[in-house]
Amino acid sequence: MAEPPSPAGKKDNKLLLKGAFAVTGIMSTLIIYGILQERIMRVPYGPNKEFFKYSLFLVFCNRITTSAVSAGTLLVSKKALDPVAPFYKYCVVSISNILTTTCQYEALKYVSFPVQTLAKCAKMIPVMIWGTLIMQKKYKGRDYLLAFLVTIGCSLFILFPASEEMSPYSRGRESTVWGVSLMVGYLGFDGFTSTFQDKLFKGYDMEIHNQIFYTTLCSCVLSLTGLILQGHLIMAIDFVSRHSDCFFDIALLSTVATASQFFISYTIRTFGALTFATIMTTRQLASIFLSCVWFGHPLSLEQFIGAVIVFGSLYTRSFWRDKPQKLLSSENTENEDSIPLKGNP
């Protein structure tokens, strides 16, 4: 007669299922998100080969979806909808977040998704700079070493492309410089957003969905205002009304962007910062590989070496973290990694 499974065995199986759920959720939603970004911004729609040019409209759609879901979560959980911090502080995060996402979408017009994804790995550099300036944080020598290695790897990947990238906005070297400039803007604004979020959570007794709701609500108002002032709102609506496949892509982009927030929050709360960082690094690697296969981006030897340097450094950083960090409470762990409200993973 078979013995019943021990409590320890049941616990291990339950943890394994939770891990599989977290990994599957993060990998699937964010990889789909990455493919849709590149498709919307770089692949023409319809028989006339029209390109979608309204990146701020994507920001608006993402934010209004996330705002609605976070409001629903607060209502269902019967938590207060009242703002915890002064409203202007939510707006600061919101403005920085809009600039981050807009730079990300605009950069895809000039650089390929693999280049953009690898460049995002360098976000530890502006985070360290902003952390020093805003939070007076101090970093170890190995942090600076890994930041230097990531910078070298990203530089190799950007400066030694396998061939001229095919882009509807391509103007040779000028496009590369403009694309890299947008990515620098993305990294700077993203680093500020993460650091300021960290400061908000440490300064106020703030629930994650409260911050998500108010920052995304501000983003909705600001992005809608920007669309109206630029005269792009009607043009964007007209474009998606004429191209139903573009409407579907944008709707799916907003859905997976919102869903990814749940999986990211769940992973950080359940497994901590170390597991989350490792999954995200693996997701970035898988996204680059899939984009190269799906959209036919060739990689040069120098780019391959650069990718190895970057991802090797990131994995090393994950496993070099001090052991006491694994024992942090879920609130502190979330603060360390920054609350993932952005929708531009």
Q: In the predicted model, is pLDDT for residue 202 greater than 50?
A: yes
Beta-carbon contacts of residue 252 (< 8 Å; ≥ 6 apart): 32, 36
Output phi, psi for 45, to 5 deg.
Answer: -115, 145
- Rounded (to 5) percent helix, strand, coil in the chain: 80, 0, 20
The tens digit of pLDDT for each residue in 205-252 reads 767 777 788 888 898 999 999 999 999 999 999 999 999 999 999 999
The tens digit of pLDDT for each residue in 263-313 reads 877 776 677 655 666 677 677 777 777 777 776 677 778 878 888 888 788
**Residue at 318: amino acid letter:** S
**Residue at 338: amino acid letter:** S
- Global confidence as pTM: 0.68
